[in-house]
Structure 1
Amino acid sequence: MSPEGGSVLVLFFGLPGSGKTTLVNRIFEACTKRFDSRSYPCIISYDSLVSTSRQAEMAHNPGMAKECRQQLLLAAQAWLAWVRGTDMAVPTSSELACTMLKQLQSCSRPLRPDERALVLVDDNLYYRSMRKEWFKLARNASLGFCQVLVACPLEEAIRRNASRELPVPEPSIRVMGSRFELPREEPWEELTRTVAAGEPESLECVLALVERASLKGPLCPPESPVPVPKPLPPSRRHCWDLELRAIVSRFIQQVRTSGCSQAQVADRCIRLQKARQVVLDRLRKIPYEEEDAAKVDLHVLLNEALGE
């Protein structure tokens, strides 16, 4: 990174088997060789902190999975404070967070006075809400922020995952694939890149992104809240989302059985997920009354978003 740059948190996300960890390790190695001695790279890996067996158990227990991720964020916050030499204690009642904190401390060290941190987070993070929690952590810690989507077709990710010593259960990956939310054009996602882990240019693309985030400087909380439209009842919004996911799943299944190439299937899947987000955004913004909401034709809206 440039001598003028600051500390950065880089989020790597994608399906299990997409190549995130391989890319993160390449970035870590490149950073230790290329950047000036002021840059100290360190990795927060979800798979290293949460065992595969525990992840499999959480796949059937959303509440347990949410609690685990909250504890990881708490441990990461405390670890960042420790690395930077400030006091931040994890509640002693949180045994999981304390264990995670000790693991992070065991493979890192506090920064020297002239150093800045390059934090590489390696996780699936298939919901945007999961990724936004890391953005908030970076903002609260006055770090720069950027994110990297490591793209990979679902079947290819499943094939790669199967060759692991401790693979993630295939049904869990398929669930993540059906629920995966792509980045959108919002301010907090401004510095986002999509790469394929095996492509030669991926390394340079990510390093350039990290440089931009470093030079942009630490994130600051907004000076005033941005007005938002009056929200729809959560139950109605939830029903729309579930119906759209079911429609998209059927479309994807039709594409897979139509004889299209793997590249065409992957492209169609991405277009369908983007169209689903467009439809949801449109429904959230329109002040429907209950009787109007019942007349929504999700098939028509999805086809319009696809341009069909």
Structure 2
Amino acid sequence: MDCSVCVFCGLPGAGKTTLANHLKHLQGSTHKFIHVCYDSLLLKVDHAKSLDSISAWKAARSSIANNVSSILEFLGNESKVLCPIFDKGVSQSALEFLFQDIKTFDPTMKIVLLIDDNMQYRGMRNEYYRMCAKLEVGFSIVYFDIPLQVCLRNNKKRKNPIQEAILEKISNQMEIPGSNSKCKWEKFVVKLESSNLEASSGQLLRIIDESMEHPPSFPGPAIQEEIEKVRQINRKNFLHQADICIRRLVSMKIQDFKKSTSSDTTLSQFSKKLINVKKQTLFLLKIGYVDDEIFLKTDGNLDFDKIENSIHDLMNLIFQEIQ
């Protein structure tokens, strides 16, 4: 059976869900589109307020990816049992609706799973690429290159608009698909610069069919071993740079605190709290709480400014939790 995964990448308000709904109702299409909408599947979590809620949000996203993998395995082998994997952060009703849609597919049609999310980090998209390579199904990306100001206007019209500051932050985080010549896996990419649904549909169908004809393949054991070696080196370098950043940030906080108080007792208590924050931050980084691959620049080196900003936010969050 012809099967493909198409990852949508773009800002909130760029038109990703609008295009997905349009594709689902195309008349006379030889493709059946399955809409995997993160906004519908993810339960509302204020992941900016606590470490527990961030962990729940990440677990829910992982659960969605696992469900997509189960769907792909089922489409490749119908003797497999198709059962949703529930997680407390995922909407049970939305997941059941998605799986019901899968069970009613026409085997003569080309099945396309539309992954509808911001997908601003290359690592997020690569998770689906590796999934497709393992199962040997087509993989493509649609990048919605819509100006930030347009997305901000569209966001205001949504039923549940997100905060403008968050939308702007996602815009700054966006790692544009196909912009890194070293990422050969981002091969089948469609760049959409307008909301013309008819033109977008034709362009997209062509690239999806091409990706089905040339699905990625999983590297052999020797190549996998080399990839893992490079990954371990990058991780070691990341943790080393993270430790330097943490030490510098702790020192800066102590200096700032000294300027605001003259009490040695208060300073001692503050220093002990910072040591605790430092330990918790390093622990979270070592267990993979933050994906170190998102800090790689296009030349393969680490982005030190991005590391420091991310660690600064994490330390502040931990500091608030132990107040």
Report the alpha carbon displacement of residue 194 of structure 1 after superposing the two structures with TM.
1.4
d(CA) in 1 for partners of 2:108 and 2:17?
28
1:203 aligns with 2:198: no
Is the alpha carbon distance of 1:75 and 1:282 closer, same or farther for their aligned partners in structure 2, counting shifts above 3 Å? closer
1:28 aligns with 2:24: yes
Is the alpha carbon distance of 1:279 and 1:132 closer, same or farther for their aligned partners in structure 2, counting shifts above 3 Å? closer
RMSD of aligned Cα (Å): 3.3
Match of 2:219 among 222, 229, 232: 222
**Hey, what does 1:72 align to over in structure 2?**
64
Report the alpha carbon displacement of residue 182 of structure 1 after superposing the two structures with TM.
1.5
Report the alpha carbon displacement of residue 62 of structure 1 after superposing the two structures with TM.
3.5
The alignment's TM-score, normalised by the length of structure 1, stands at 0.66
Match of 1:19 among 10, 15, 21: 15
Deviation sequence 1:28-83 (CA, Å, 0-9, x none): 333x5232xxx3221111112124xx15x124454333212101112222333445
Letter in 2 for 1:151: D
Deviation sequence 1:1-51 (CA, Å, 0-9, x none): xxxx82111111111001111122223333x5232xxx3221111112124
Is the alpha carbon distance of 1:72 and 1:154 closer, same or farther for their aligned partners in structure 2, counting shifts above 3 Å? same
Deviation sequence 1:97-143 (CA, Å, 0-9, x none): 68254231234424444444111111111111111111122223331
Is the alpha carbon distance of 1:238 and 1:148 closer, same or farther for their aligned partners in structure 2, counting shifts above 3 Å? farther
Deviates more, 1:65-74 or 1:136-145: 136-145
8 Å CA contact 2:32–2:109 kept in 1: the answer is yes
d(CA) in 1 for partners of 2:298 and 2:158?
36
**Hey, what does 2:210 align to over in structure 1?**
212
Deviation sequence 1:181-233 (CA, Å, 0-9, x none): 112332221111211241463222212111211222x3321123263554362
1:133 aligns with 2:122: no
**Hey, what does 2:140 align to over in structure 1?**
146
Letter in 1 for 2:21: N
Letter in 2 for 1:70: S
8 Å CA contact 2:2–2:109 kept in 1: the answer is no
* Structure 2 SS opposite 1:139: helix
Q: Which runs of 5+ in 2 are unaligned?
A: 246-294, 305-323
8 Å CA contact 1:59–1:172 kept in 2: the answer is no
State the 4+ residue runs in structure 1 displaced beyond 6 angstroms. Answer: none
Q: What are the within-5 Å matches in structure 2 for residues 48-127 of structure 1?
A: 48-51=40-43, 54-55=44-45, 57-60=46-49, 61-82=53-74, 85=78, 86-87=80-81, 89=83, 94-96=87-89, 99=92, 101-127=95-121
**Hey, what does 1:234 align to over in structure 2?**
238
Report the alpha carbon displacement of residue 144 of structure 1 after superposing the two structures with TM.
0.7
Match of 1:283 among 286, 301, 310: 301
Is the alpha carbon distance of 1:106 and 1:190 closer, same or farther for their aligned partners in structure 2, counting shifts above 3 Å? same
d(CA) in 2 for partners of 1:33 and 1:75?
28
* Count of residues paired in the alignment: 240
Match of 2:150 among 145, 150, 156: 156
**Hey, what does 2:184 align to over in structure 1?**
187
Letter in 1 for 2:19: L
d(CA) in 2 for partners of 1:160 and 1:116?
32
Q: Which has the larger radius of gyration?
A: 2
d(CA) in 2 for partners of 1:105 and 1:148?
23
* Structure 1 SS opposite 2:200: helix
Letter in 1 for 2:16: K
Deviation sequence 1:139-194 (CA, Å, 0-9, x none): 23331110111111222211111111111222221221121111233222111121
**Hey, what does 2:284 align to over in structure 1?**
none
**Hey, what does 1:273 align to over in structure 2?**
none
